[in-house]
Amino acid sequence: VYQLCVSGLRYVFVQSEEEAYKVLMFGKNNLHVAATGMNSRSSRSHCIFTIKLMKCPNVEAPETVTVSSISICDLAGAERQKKTLNAGLRLKESQNINCSLHVLSRCFNTIRENQLNNENKLIPFRDSKLTHLFQHALQGKETVTMIVNVNPEPHLCEETQHVLKASATAKHIVVQPRMVQRPNRVTRASIFSEIVSRHNRSTLIRWDSCVRPKAPGQSLVVEDSIIPENEPSETDKKQQNYENLIVLVEDLKEKVKEEKVKHLQTRKAIKAREEEIRKEMKDELQHLLNKAKEQHELDDQRSRDAGVIEERVSGNSCVRSAKKMKRRLEEEDEFNLRDDIEDLKEEVQIQRKEIYGLTELVNMMKEEKKELTMELTGARLQLGWKDRDIKELKAKIEMFGEESELKKGYLALEKEMESKLKIRENLLEEARSDLLEEMRMKEEAEEELEKLEKEITEKDQEIASLQNEIEDMKQEVTAKSNALDMMENHIEAVESGFDEEIRNLERNCSKLEKELTERNKEVERLTQLLTEEEVEYHLQQVTTLQAEVDKLLFEKTVVDEQLLKLNKDFEEYKKEKDKEIESVKQNQEEERLRMYETNLDKQSEAVNDMKLKYKKEILDRDNLITQLQEKLMVALQKLEETKESIKSELIEKYDERVVEVVIDSEEKHKQEI
């Protein structure tokens, strides 16, 4: 068409609807499809199927031929790289599809402008092979029906709008009427005129030419009829051609049988290989499940051991070492999971290579089937021509009225030919059935290959999802580890503050105990050497001790307030983390939520263990503080008792001293009297 060359394009001669349908299905099987981000079976090229019907009014004198044609074009849809995520060869194919569709829409717009404005702008037919092939149809010289496949998805609204705009422009293109010049009617000759013309053109010898001149001593000899010499030669030739065709059909049948055997062998090999691959995959999955189960048991055992270690270990350094050991175990698990994923990738690559080899084998079988179908069609055409020649011979023999013996021989020959034709038709039917069986087996093999490709794509998607989950888990682990580090630092700071305060309290308690012992010693010493001035001084010391005790009580209240504040901060931090966990649960998918919840449960268990541990430590600290408070109370009680005893002793000594002074004064007064 207009010096346009399409590589691999050819016409196939057919004689029935079934043969045309077979050619259509053969072309459909050759249609190239591939998986993209939008469609698992996306057409990677346009598909055109053209049927041409030829009608000849006079077969014997084919001066004029009427040709009718219809073309069915399946256009591939426009694609965007952002949505399809194509790369490499897929991206190049989508670029070619988009370029041809863009040229088609430009042709629609230019033709519509030319029809509206009566202009003669240049239509860009030659910018694409698609528009070049349908140049007459696009100019409005042929009837065109355009069907648009609309996708109701909302994210494809823009592409749907472009397609509908182009179809609306094509709808307004006017089909230009053209005058059809009918051929001159051929006058068909009558049957009588045909018989007369054939009789005049016959090679039979006339009766008058058989009369010989009378010789002396001879009588007149008249021959009844002379059989033409070319008739037996033609029948021999037909017989030889027929035998050659029979041999050709036998060869084709043998080839078909061989191809069937080869196909069965390849199919058995494919099934065996598929069973091996399935068995290997099953074993590998079972191995991975067992490995995961063992790993889970090891993790449980390690967690139990870690829990026992955490219970036994006392001190921040031991807790840190246990956490480091947990992290190291988690890193080892991630490394093992990465190795498993790499092994799965290698297995998928091997399976892809095997599938590629099987597809090449199927393509070779397709090529061989194409050649066989071509040979069968050629043999069928030759047989049709031979049948036509036999019919012509039969008509000639009937017209010329050969002798009875010749008729009997021809009838016998005709019966043989009919029997042989029946045998040939049976052979052709068998060959046709074998071809149909081969096509069915080929379709089954292609379906199996498609299933394997789908399984491989699903495995690739599973591997990609696993890798994404691993990355998400890594990020979550890093975030949680950072949060745990922050909590550890905060708790360490709180513990250091508690330790310092407890040490200060212990120091104060030890000081108080020392002071109490000193005071006791002083009280004992004061009991021996007690005067009024010393009693006043002792009372001052008691007041100073009471002030120090009040100061310690105030410091205790401050420490209690700090503990309450720390507990409030810890509750607020827990609430914030719970809110973050709820937001993460709402945003992520269900599977990731499950994984995340399991990890959070493990981490929450670890945090709860830490909480319990720190609560135990805080309770121990509280018990220690209560013990110190009890000691302080005991010390205060002892101080009160010592105060009371000192007061009572001082009062008694003071009274005794007064009594002694009174007695002395009375004795002195008596002595003076």
Residue 332 confidence (pLDDT): 62
Q: For residue range 328-379, what is the model confidence (pLDDT) as tens digits?
A: 666 666 666 666 667 666 766 776 676 777 677 777 777 776 777 777 666 6
Q: Residue 8 has what pLDDT?
A: 74
Q: How far apart are CA 136 and CA 134, in angstroms?
A: 6
Nearest 5°: phi and psi at 403?
A: -70, 165
Closest Cα to residue 186, out of 66, 57, 60?
A: 57
pLDDT at 558: 72
Q: What is the CA radius of gyration of the chain?
A: 56
**Interval 313-325: pLDDT, tens:** 445 554 555 555 5
Task: Name the least confident of 285-299, 485-499, 533-547.
Answer: 533-547
- Close Cβ partners of 138 (under 8 Å, ≥ 6 residues apart): 107, 108, 111, 123, 125, 131, 144, 173
Q: Is the pLDDT of residue 75 over 70?
A: yes
Q: Which long-range contacts link 97-101 to residues 24+ away (Cβ below 8 Å)?
A: 97/44, 97/45, 97/46, 99/128, 100/46, 100/128, 100/129, 100/130, 100/131, 101/75
pLDDT band at 244 (very low <50, low <70, confident <90, very high): confident
- Residue 225 in this model has a pLDDT that exceeds 50: no
> Is 268's pLDDT higher than 70?
yes
Question: Which of 196-210, 275-289, 338-352 comes out lowest in average pLDDT?
Answer: 196-210
Mean of pLDDT values over 491-495: 70
Q: Is the pLDDT of residue 663 over 70?
A: yes
Q: Is the pLDDT of residue 615 over 60?
A: yes
Q: Are 581 and 479 in contact (CB under 8 A)?
A: no
Q: What is the mean pLDDT of residues 592-597?
A: 64
Mean pLDDT of 405-424: 65
- Closest-CA residue to 452 (of 345, 340, 356, 343): 356
| Choice among 214-228, 285-299, 438-452, 513-527 with the minimum mean pLDDT | 214-228
Pairing of strands 47-55, 42-43: unpaired
CB 61 within 8 A of CB 189: no
- Residue 206: pLDDT over 50: no
Amino acid at 334: E
pLDDT of residue 208: 38
Higher pLDDT, 215 or 616: 616
Confidence at residue 230, expressed as pLDDT on a 0 to 100 scale: 43
Apex 584 CA angle, 581 and 586, nearest 5: 110
Judge whether residue 402 has pLDDT over 60: no
The answer, yes or no, to whether residue 290 has pLDDT greater than 80, is no
Burial of 67 (0-12, 13-18, 19+ CB in 10 A): exposed
Residue 40 has a pLDDT of: 73
The pair of three-digit structure tokens given for residue 612, joined into one six-digit string? 């319990």
Higher pLDDT, 651 or 548: 651
Q: What is the pLDDT of residue 211?
A: 38
User: For residue range 103-161, what is the model confidence (pLDDT) as tens digits?
Assistant: 888 888 888 888 888 888 888 888 888 888 888 887 777 888 888 888 888 877 888 88
* Residue 292 CB burial class (10 angstroms; 0-12, 13-18, ≥19): middle
pLDDT more than 90, % of the chain: 0
Which pLDDT value is given to residue 47? 85
- Identify which of 62-66, 176-180, 218-222 has the greatest average pLDDT: 62-66
Q: State the average pLDDT for the chain.
A: 70
Two tokens at 107? 């042709």
The answer on pLDDT for 502 being more than 80 is: no
DSSP 39-81: -TTEE-S-EEEEEEEEE-S-SSS----EEEEEEEEEPPPP--H
Higher pLDDT pick, 606 / 167: 167
Asked whether 466 and 341 are in contact (CB, 8 A), the reply is yes
Return the structure tokens found at 105.
């829409």
What is the pTM (predicted TM-score) of this model? 0.30
Q: Which of 164-168, 312-316, 420-424, 540-544 has the highest mean pLDDT?
A: 164-168
Per-residue pLDDT averaged across 10-39, rounded?
A: 82
The pLDDT of 265-270, averaged and rounded, is 77
CA angle 556, 560, 564 (to 5 degrees): 170
Distances (CA, A) of 321 to 29, 383, 480, 618, 629: 65, 92, 17, 22, 35
pLDDT greater than 70 at residue 186: no
Quick one: average pLDDT of 517-525? 68
Please tell me which of 70-79, 198-207, 434-443, 613-622 the model is most confident about, judged by mean pLDDT.
Answer: 70-79
Q: Residue 33: which H helix or E strand, with range?
A: strand 33-34
| pLDDT greater than 60 at residue 554 | yes
Distance CA 584, CA 483 (A): 16
State yes or no: pLDDT of 492 exceeds 60.
yes
Comparing 318 with 500, the larger pLDDT belongs to: 500
Torsion of CA 533, 538, 544, 549, to 10 degrees: -160
Q: Tell me which of 201 and 292 has the higher pLDDT.
A: 292
Q: Which of 265, 258, 255, 246 is nearest to 373 (CA)?
A: 255
Task: Please choose, from the candidates 466, 448, 469, the residue with its C-alpha nearest in 3D space to the C-alpha of residue 458.
Answer: 466
